[in-house]
Copies of this chain bind each other. A is one copy, B any other.
Amino acid sequence: MLAILALTTSFVFFAPAPQSDGDSGALDAAIGRIVERGLASDHAFTWLTELCDDIGPRLSGSAQAEQAVEWGRARLEEAGADRVVLHPVNVARWVRGEVERARILEPADHRLAVLALGGSIATPPGGITAPVIVVKTFEELRSRASEARGKIVLFNRAMGETADDGSRKLGYGDAVQQRTNGAIEAAKVGAVASVIRSVGTKGAEYRLPHTGMMRYEDGVKRIPHAALAAEDADLIARLVARHPRVMLNLELDCRDEGTVQSHNVIADLRGRERPDEVVLICGHLDSWDVGHGAHDDGVGVVASMEVIRLLKSLDLRPRRTIRCVLFMNEENGLAGGLGYAKDYARELAGHVAAIEMDGGAFGFSGFGVSAGEGGVAMVDDVARRIRSVPGYESLRVRPGGGGADIGPLSRAGNVPMLSIDSDSETYFRYHHTHADTLDKVDPRELARHAAAYAALVYALAEMERPLPRLAAR
């Protein structure tokens, strides 16, 4: 309580930065009020508790995902949105099933920590048993194609490893290739199944597999594809180095149950002057079916909802409309993002920005911006105002923001994209695992994300001149 009083005092004497724009002082004051109120709020965490504990994991097409849709609609109405609609989208219903086992049979009996990857087909009952071949890259696999025939391929490239050319550490985008395309590449060389080293950062070596989306390709045989804990990938690699044959049994009964209807939840806070100009803000409501989807992306959902609630509670109605979208199916199909871009195509010319928060809430670091010339500097001018608030001094604006859900609408309408940035090193320890649970979220850190997020959104919806649009692609 003392801390809040101290902050209040600092806002009372908040000195507007020198600025040619006549509204600058008003914007400073509004940002000060938003951040102050946001930091003192526990609404986002209360909502997150409902989403994680009372609903739980919410894979697209599941009963819990539908519960989450209804919950999102109800809470956004309570938060004071002017209009909440459910936007229908068709999503794949993939089900993990009850059997999920990986076991080394030779040279020793080891049960492994495994998760089927989203979209994988099942194995036959009893599983697939074959020798393992371990590779680091698709190139290595192709060069050893004759060896791989009839085997189970282990793709054992770790996120954070140094790239072959020594130029950089491999990021998520690099490491995730073995997850997304591994089954295709393995099938092309005649492998009977494939497994990957889980895609995650160091620090979570507690036998924790990471699931995620994988793909098949028309014309290429579909083979089962699963993720092993880092330790189990290491174990197999050690055994293969020391023994002539390492036999693996993989048994999965996951399955595709066709397409079902689900929804994006869309809530508008109508603009006072230019209601047809829209700042879209979002997180995704679906999660993987393991863990609680707390950081991925419960925090993005509740922080986006908190933006609406905060502005409404402060009676701050900016020039433009703020549209909060809780997207469905970000994890395994992107039906929500694709459907929005298609069904709202006629409105996209009026979308002045789209902001996604989908990187967890481990440590707020700033904003990412993909906009036309000068856009980063405009966002930095907003950021400068937030940096005046104690605790936000190191807020960083970087070029290159975006998000999976807003990619399609941005491409379709050249809409500037922004992201709410957080500590990604910690995020990827928990990403897509059983351990992405509510207890990992610090309520104060979540409020710190939401408060800055709300200030940014208000500024983008209020400032006279919108961000420069992206060039047509």
Contacts and interface: CB of A to CB of B under 8 A. Distances in A.
Contacts of A243: 54
Interface in A43-60: 49, 53-57
Interface of A: 49, 53-57, 64, 107-110, 113, 204-208, 231, 234-235, 238-239, 242-243, 291, 429-430, 433-435, 437-440
Contacts of A242: 49, 53-54
B207 A439 contact: no
Nearest to A62: B109
B107 A54 contact: yes
A271 to B, nearest CB: 37
B433 A206 contact: yes
Contacts of A440: 205
A231 to B, nearest CB: 5
Nearest to A430: B206
A235 B108 contact: no
Copies in the complex: 2
Contacts of A108: 53-56, 64
Nearest first, the 8 A-B pairs at minimum CB distance are A206-B206, A207-B434, A206-B435, A207-B435, A56-B108, A231-B437, A206-B208, A56-B110
A438 B54 CA distance: 38
Contacts of A53: 108, 235, 238-239, 242
Nearest to A230: B439
A245 to B, nearest CB: 13
A250 to B, nearest CB: 16
Contacts of A439: 205, 231, 234-235
A185 to B, nearest CB: 27
A153 to B, nearest CB: 21
A174 to B, nearest CB: 22
Contacts of A54: 107-108, 242-243
Contacts of A235: 53, 437-439
Nearest to A208: B206
Contacts of A291: 207
Contacts of A238: 49, 53, 438
A242 B242 CA distance: 54
